[in-house]
């Protein structure tokens, strides 16, 4: 189940957090992985850690807002590993400001990483994914990191929510376009609840500010209590879902959203 033997994956924003854990899970499932990020030192350390565990991985400097960086990262995957089967559009940023507090620069930053990054990745990895998709029984796969904030409103970051709503519907549109054209590239999104990463910690700080207490521990407790399953999510919880969506076990899924949120949006 959920095997990725012989497949090659490119994961954006994978120096740390959900992306790094996804790289680890993909390699354990048999894939070769290119990690892209703007945090070059941390990205290289992540690759070294994966190599120590016996994996085949490479690091690419990838600012997802840059066309040149995307072209170079895709070329690195195809030249080093022979092709590209999986793209994970994982890089993302969170601002944690309300509509009254957020500036135009905040909005432009969110848009450039969370939206432009997903558009460019999809567009520029598509030819390589299409080529490998022709030879694979269930095609190639793109997995986009949306959020529960792309399904319901956000108490903490309405602008982040607007970008993740865009990722949610872009996923469906891209799935339809590639299917219509016969490209054999499945496109799905994943919608995490609050996950214990650097970004998860940023949400606790934003929540504490919203409560006017600056008590980050209390904010964390409140966040945990909002997940009916009784805990916050881990990067492994999300990596498991991403590996499934990228694998041939999800071969009949495209344009879908996988919610992994401990029941938060079931309420």
Ligand X SMILES: NC(=O)c1ccc[n+]([C@@H]2O[C@H](COP(=O)([O-])OP(=O)(O)OC[C@H]3O[C@@H](n4cnc5c(N)ncnc54)[C@H](O)[C@@H]3O)[C@@H](O)[C@H]2O)c1
CA 217 distance to own-chain centroid: 27
Question: Could you say which DSSP state residue 111 is in?
Answer: I
Direct distance between the N- and C-terminal alpha carbons of the chain, in angstroms, rounded to an integer: 31
Q: Centre a 10 Å sphere on the Cβ of residue 101 and count the other Cβ atoms it contains.
A: 10
Q: Which stretch binds ligand X (CB under 6 A): 71-79, 198-206, 240-248, 252-260?
A: 198-206
Q: Which is nearer to ligand X, 37 or 85 (CB)?
A: 37
Residue 257 found at the interface with ligand X (CB under 6 A): no
CA 248 distance to own-chain centroid: 19
Q: Which of 12, 78, 154, 254 binds ligand X (CB under 6 A)?
A: 12
Q: x/- site string to ligand X, residues 35 to 74, per CB under 6 A?
A: --xxx----------------------xxxx---------
Residue 8 found at the interface with ligand X (CB under 6 A): no
DSSP characters over 192-234: E-SBSSHHHHHHHHHHHHHTTS--HHHHHHHHHHTSTTSS-B-
Q: Which stretch binds ligand X (CB under 6 A): 27-35, 73-81, 172-180, 196-204?
A: 196-204
Query: Least CB distance from residue 48 to ligand X, whole Å?
Result: 16
Q: Which is nearer to ligand X, 14 or 29 (CB)?
A: 14
CA 223 distance to own-chain centroid: 21
Query: Least CB distance from residue 181 to ligand X, whole Å?
Result: 27
Question: Could you say which DSSP state residue 148 is in?
Answer: G
In sequence order, which ranges of 82-197 are alpha helices (DSSP H)?
104-110, 117-133, 158-180
Sole residue written with tokens 């590209």 = 84
Q: Which is nearer to ligand X, 17 or 133 (CB)?
A: 17
Cα Rg of the chain, angstroms? 18
Residue 96 found at the interface with ligand X (CB under 6 A): no
Contact 35, 58 (CB under 8 A): yes
Q: Which is nearer to ligand X, 126 or 242 (CB)?
A: 242
**Catalytic residue set:** 160
Q: Which of 200, 241, 257, 262 binds ligand X (CB under 6 A)?
A: 200
Q: Which is nearer to ligand X, 168 or 203 (CB)?
A: 203
- Between CA 74 and CA 81 the distance in angstroms is 10
Q: x/- site string to ligand X, residues 110 to 149, per CB under 6 A?
A: ---x-------------------------------x-x--
Contacts to ligand X by CB under 6 A: 12-13, 15-19, 37-39, 62-65, 90-93, 113, 145, 147, 192, 194-195, 197-200, 203
């Amino acid at each position: 189940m959920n095997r990725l033997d012989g497949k090659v994956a490119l994961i954006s924003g994978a120096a740390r957090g959900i992306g790094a854990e996804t790289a680890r899970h993909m390699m354990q499932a048999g894939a070769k992985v290119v990690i892209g990020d703007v945090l070059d030192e941390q990205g290289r350390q992540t690759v070294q850690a994966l190599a120590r565990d016996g994996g085949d991985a490479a690091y690419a400097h990838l600012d997802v807002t840059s066309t040149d960086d995307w072209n170079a990262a895709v070329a690195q995957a195809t030249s080093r590993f022979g092709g590209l089967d999986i793209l994970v559009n994982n890089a993302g940023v969170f601002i944690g400001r309300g509509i009254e507090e957020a500036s135009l620069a905040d909005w432009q930053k969110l848009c450039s990483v969370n939206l432009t990054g997903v558009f460019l990745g999809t567009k520029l990895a598509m030819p390589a994914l299409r080529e490998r998709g022709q030879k694979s029984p269930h095609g190639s796969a793109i997995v986009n990191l949306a959020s529960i904030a792309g399904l319901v409103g956000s108490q903490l970051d309405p602008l982040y929510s607007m970008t993740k709503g865009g990722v949610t519907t872009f996923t469906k549109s891209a799935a339809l376009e590639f299917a219509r054209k016969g490209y054999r590239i499945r496109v799905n999104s994943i919608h995490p609840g609050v996950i214990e990463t650097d970004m998860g910690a940023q949400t606790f700080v934003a929540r504490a500010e919203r409560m006017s207490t600056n008590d980050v521990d209390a904010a964390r407790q409140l966040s945990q209590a909002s997940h009916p399953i009784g805990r916050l999510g881990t990067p492994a919880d999300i990596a498991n879902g991403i590996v499934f969506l990228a694998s041939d076990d999800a071969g009949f899924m495209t344009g879908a959203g996988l919610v992994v949120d401990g029941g938060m949006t079931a309420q």
